[in-house]
Amino acid sequence: MKFTIFLLLQFLLFVVPLLLAVAFLTLAERKILAAMQRRKGPNVVGFLGVFQPLADGVKLILKETVFPSAANKVVYFLAPVFTFFLALAGWAVVPFGDFHVIVDLNLGILYIFAVSSLSVYGIVMAGWASNSRYAFLGSLRSAAQMVSYEVSIGVILINILLCVGSLNLYDIVEFQRNVWFIFPFFPLFLMFFVSSLAETNRPPFDLPEAEGELVAGYNVEYSAVGFALFFIAEYSNIILMSCLNVLLFFGGWLSPLSLFFSKDPLAGPIWLILKILAVLFLFVWVRAAFPRYRYDQLMRLGWKIFLPLSLGFLIFTSSFLFAFDALP
C-alpha cells in the first residue's frame, strides 16, 4: 500500500510540472512569435496574458465533446488517450540530474525510441476512426514522415553509442564531462535537431497539420478534451525531443565548468532546464523563420540527404575509434 502511494505521488510530481510546462510553453511560443512578427500577442487574460493558457485549458475542458456520426467511436475515443499516455511514458527514463530519474533503465535510449515509434499508431487511429478524408490523409502523412526521420535519428544515435558504449542516458551525460558531443558531432546535432522538428510535426515540417490543404490534419474532427489531449501530447513530445538534444549533445545537467574542472560544483537540474529552454527557443525561432516544405522535399531531405550523411558519419566514427583503439 505504501509503495503504491509512493508511486502515485512520484507520478503526480512528474506529471503536474510537465502539464504546467506544456501550458506555459504555448504562451511563450505565442509571445516569441509575436515579438518576431512585431505584434503584441496574448496580453488580455491576466498580467501580460500570463493566464491565457489556463483560460484555454478551461475552455477546452468545458466544451462539449462532439462525436462524428460516421466515426468508429471506440477507436475515436481511444486514439487521443493512447497518444497522451505514450507522450508521458517517454519521460520515465529521462534523468534530470544525479539520481533524479523515475526508472534507471540501462536501455533508456532504446526505450524512448520504441515509445516514440508507437506514437504513430495513435495518430493513424485518429485519422482512420474519424472517417474524414482530410484526417486520414493527415495521419498517413504523419506516419510516413515519422518513420522516415526515425531511421536517420537511429543512425545518429549509433554514433554516440559507439563512443559511450552504453544505452543509459545517465552514462551518456557522464561521458561528456570532458567534452560535450556538440563539438565533435556538430553536423550530427544539426541533423538530429532537424529530424526532431520532423518527428514532432513542427514547422517547417508540419505537413500532417497543413491548414492550407488538410484543414487541421488528423485531429480535424476532434474538439474539447480529445483535442486537448492531442495538443498536450504534441507539446510534451517537443519538450522531450529538446531534452534529448540537451542530454545527447550539450552535457545534460553538467554546467560549462565541467569542461575545465573534474568536479563540477554547479551541475544540477537548473542547468538542464536552462539548456532545454534554449533548444525550445530554437523550435519557435524555426517556426517564425522558415516556410513549410513540400511533401516531396520532406521525403527527399530524409531519405536522400540525411540518411546517406548519417551513414557516412557512422562509418567515419567507427573507423576513427577502431584506428585509435578507442572503442569502449
List all residues 6 or more positions away from 116 whose beta carbon is below 8 Å from its beta carbon: 90, 146, 150, 199, 237
Position 242 pLDDT exceeds 70: yes
Residue 49 lies in a domain: no
* Phi, psi of 70, rounded to the nearest 5 degrees: -95, 10
**What pLDDT does 279 receive?**
95
Looking at residue 30, what is its pLDDT?
Answer: 92
Cell numbers of 304, please? 536522400
Grid cell for residue 159: 554514433
Q: What is residue 7's predicted lDDT score, i.e. its pLDDT?
A: 67
Distances (CA, A) of 209 to 117, 127, 190, 303, 305: 19, 11, 24, 21, 24
What percent of the chain is predicted at pLDDT more than 70?
93
177 lies in a domain?
yes
**Residue 192 pLDDT greater than 90, yes or no:** yes
- Within a domain: 43: no
Asked whether residue 231 is assigned to any structural domain, the reply reads yes
Mean pLDDT of 17-27: 89
Please report which confidence band the pLDDT of residue 216 belongs to, taking 50, 70 and 90 as the band edges.
low
What's the pLDDT score for residue 99? 64
Q: Which is nearest to 328 in space by CA: 171, 188, 111?
A: 171
Q: Which residues contact 31 (CB under 8 A, 6 or more apart)?
A: 41, 42, 49
Lowest mean pLDDT of 68-77, 156-165, 276-285, 306-315, name the range: 68-77
Higher pLDDT, 291 or 268: 291
pLDDT score of 212 more than 70: no
Mean pLDDT across the chain, nearest whole number? Answer: 86
Mean pLDDT of 25-50: 89
pLDDT at 214: 55
- Distance, in Å, from the CA atom of 327 to the CA atom of 323, rounded to the nearest integer, reads 9
Q: Model confidence at 211, in pLDDT bands (50, 70, 90)?
A: low
Under DSSP, is residue 112 helix (H, G, I), strand (E, B) or coil? helix
Distances (CA, A) of 116 to 77, 83, 110, 200, 254: 20, 10, 10, 10, 26
How many residues can be counted in the chain? 328
Host H or E run for residue 155: helix 133-164
Q: Quick one: what percent of the chain has pLDDT higher than 90? A: 30
In this predicted structure, the answer to whether residue 15 has a pLDDT above a threshold of 90 is no
> Is residue 88 in a domain?
yes
Alpha carbons 182 and 189: distance in angstroms, whole number: 6
How confident is the model at residue 210, as a pLDDT?
64
Is the pLDDT score of 36 beyond 70? yes
Check if the beta carbon of residue 129 is closer than 8 Å to that of residue 71.
Answer: yes
pLDDT score recorded for residue 239:
94
Rounded-to-integer distance, Cα 51 and Cα 67, Å: 30
Q: Determine, yes or no, domain membership for 198.
A: yes
Give the Cα separation of 69 and 156 in Å (integer).
45
* Nearest C-alpha neighbor of 61 from the set 226, 219, 222: 226
Least trusted range by pLDDT, from 41-50, 179-188, 210-219:
210-219
| pLDDT tens digit sequence for 265-287 | 667 788 889 999 999 999 999 99
Report d(CA 283, CA 201) in Å as an integer.
11
* Structural domain contains residue 48: no
Please give the helix or strand (H or E) that residue 262 lies within, else none.
Answer: none
Instruction: Count, in order, helices (H) and strands (E) of the chain.
Output: 12, 0
Cα distances from 253 to residues 100, 108, 258, in angstroms, run 11, 17, 10
Kindly list the distances between the CA atom of residue 101 and the CA atoms of 93, 274, 277, in Å, as whole numbers in the listed order.
6, 18, 20
Residue 150: pLDDT above 80? yes
Residue 163 lies in a domain: yes
The answer to whether residue 193 scores a pLDDT higher than 90 is: yes
User: pLDDT category, 9, cuts 50, 70, 90?
Assistant: confident
- Of these ranges, 10-14, 65-69, 287-291, the one predicted with the greatest mean pLDDT is 287-291
Q: Using 50, 70 and 90 to split pLDDT, how confident is the model at 114?
A: confident
Handedness of CA 16, 54, 142, 205 (dihedral sign): negative
- Lowest mean pLDDT of 151-160, 219-228, 278-287, 307-316, name the range: 219-228
* Number of structural domains in the chain: 1
pTM value is 0.92
3-class secondary structure, 172: helix
What does the block give as the cell for 172? 551518456
Residue 125 structural domain: 62-323
**What does the block give as the cell for 116?**
516514440
